[in-house]
Every structure is written in structure tokens, then in C-alpha cells.
Amino acid sequence: MKYPLVVGLGIGYYLGTRAGRERYEQIVATARSARDSRLIEKARAAGALGVERVRHRRRGPVQLRLLDDVPRSA
């Protein structure tokens, strides 16, 4: 009586993992095509430019404050 149950669970598991793998491959393919799209590339470049602008603006005052804290010898 337990043998058919175990076989049934095994078959169900196998079929479920195959379906899961196919869905996973579909999601990965969609993500790759989205990642490689021009729209995403432009958004990524714009984000990097914005980050660089903020870093450039913040760099000046921080460096000056750090230099003010350094003790001067002689």
C-alpha cells in the first residue's frame, strides 16, 4: 500500500521539478533580455551619472574638513 504512494510522490516531485526548471529558465531568459535592453542601459547610465555627481559635490567639503583636523608640525 505504501509503495504506490511513494511512487506517486516521486512522479509528482519529478514532474514538478521539470515544470519548475522550465519556468526558471523562462524567467532567466526574460531577465537577461530586460537587462540587455537599451532602456535599462540608459537608466543604469543615468543612475551612475547621478551618483558620480553627488560624489563629486560631496567630495570637496569632506576633504577640506579632514585636512582641518590634521595637526600641523613645524
Q: What is the DSSP string of 3-26?
A: HHHHHHHHHHHHHHHHHHHHHHHH
User: 29 with 1, same domain?
Assistant: yes
33-57 pLDDT per residue, tens? 888 888 888 888 888 888 888 877 7
Considering the domain architecture, whether residues 32 and 46 belong to the same structural domain is answered as no
Specify the pLDDT at position 40.
84
Domain count, the chain: 2
pLDDT at residue 29 tops 70:
yes
pLDDT score at 66: 57
Residues 22 and 3 reside in one and the same domain = yes
Same domain, 26 and 53: no
pLDDT at 64 over 60: no
Per-residue model confidence (pLDDT) at position 47:
87
**Cell numbers that stand for 15 in this block:** 514532474
Domain of 42 in residue numbering reads as: 38-74
pTM flag (> 0.85): no
**Domain match, 31 and 10 both:** yes
